[in-house]
A = this chain, B = another copy of it.
Amino acid sequence: MIRILVTGGTFDKEYDEISGALYFKETHLAEMLRLGRCRVPAVIETVMLVDSLAMSLADRERVAGRCRNCDESQIVITHGTDTMVETAAVLAGSVTGKTVVLTGAMVPYAFGSSDGLFNLGSALSFVQVLPSGVYIAMNGTHFPWNKVRKNRAAGVFETVDGAQ
């Protein structure tokens, strides 16, 4: 059984046609698993629905708490990309004996041209085979939490030492 913790991020943003702004309504994870014909037993839990730039340390610790206290040892977290690395560091400091994979999207799932479905397939796969630890799964690959940064100008994740 895999636990999917939803925290928001670009992944789950939608367009509000009345205000013209982006907002969160509810997570698209169940719909995405259905679209992927995913048959891996998984439980979806919405911890919060926020922009990762608005996440506080307390928010990250709440996510860490859910990782520690849930029954599952394989955990996928959907998260905004801007502070995904910061949350990964908090998790690495307090979650042990579990495989935790954070993923996200550069474009909202609801907008058609999203990388979300690709990333979700990737994260769910990595979490089933990687040893215990905290990882980020983006751009088709996985990074240990302490070997990665987001290159905001390019909109991609890269290893800290630049070696891809």
* Chain A residues near B (Cβ < 8 Å): 10, 15, 17-18, 20, 22, 32-33, 35-42, 106-108, 110-115, 117-126, 128-130, 137-142, 152-153, 155-156, 158, 164
Contacts and interface: CB of A to CB of B under 8 A. Distances in A.
Given A117-B121, A121-B117, A130-B129, A139 B37 contact: yes
Nearest to A17: B106
A82 B115 CA distance: 27
B124 A140 contact: yes
A22 to B, nearest CB: 7
Contact of A39 (B42, B114, B156): B156
Contact of A125 (B10, B121, B164): B121
A38 to B, nearest CB: 4
A35 B111 CA distance: 12
Given A35-B118, A39-B141, A121-B140, 17 more contacts: A17-B155, A22-B22, A32-B118, A36-B119, A36-B122, A36-B139, A37-B118, A38-B139, A38-B140, A110-B113, A111-B111, A117-B118, A117-B121, A120-B121, A122-B122, A123-B125, A129-B130
